[in-house]
Amino acid sequence: MGEVRLKRVYEPADDGDGYRVLVDRLWPRGVTKERAALDLWSKDVAPSPELRKWWSHDPARFAEFRVRYDAELCDPRPDQAAALEELRGAIAAHDVVTLAFGAHDPEVNHAVVLRDFLLSSAG
């Protein structure tokens, strides 16, 4: 299994990022496709619109958000299941995969939960 990294999509891409995957449902404001330098846009792995709206990136709700998003990932919607399999395949096929996200906080965002889920379910 390859290494899974996290990086804000607003930060410049570099060679160390390896295979770059945007894991946001919505395209990041003000970022061109060229600047994003993505290999894949996996919008269906993102939290459901209902969960995203409930959480609203409120750090006080992050612990509960993690529980709810983990539950979504453990019992994924059909579109989410297919996207998760595609992402797992990318991780297996590349030495480094960077999950790109648009959130401001590098530690309180859905990509952190997704990375932890992917690493814990890889075994």
Provide the domain limits for residue 31.
Answer: 3-120
What's the rounded Cα separation, in Å, for the pair 77 and 97?
23
Domain count, the chain: 1
* pTM of structure: 0.94
User: pLDDT per residue over 1-32, tens digit each?
Assistant: 779 999 999 999 999 999 999 999 999 999 99
C-alpha gyration radius of the chain: 13
User: pLDDT per residue over 41-81, tens digit each?
Assistant: 999 999 999 999 999 999 999 999 999 999 999 999 999 99
Q: Which residue has the tokens 């993690």?
A: 66
Neighbours of 13 (CB within 10 A): 16
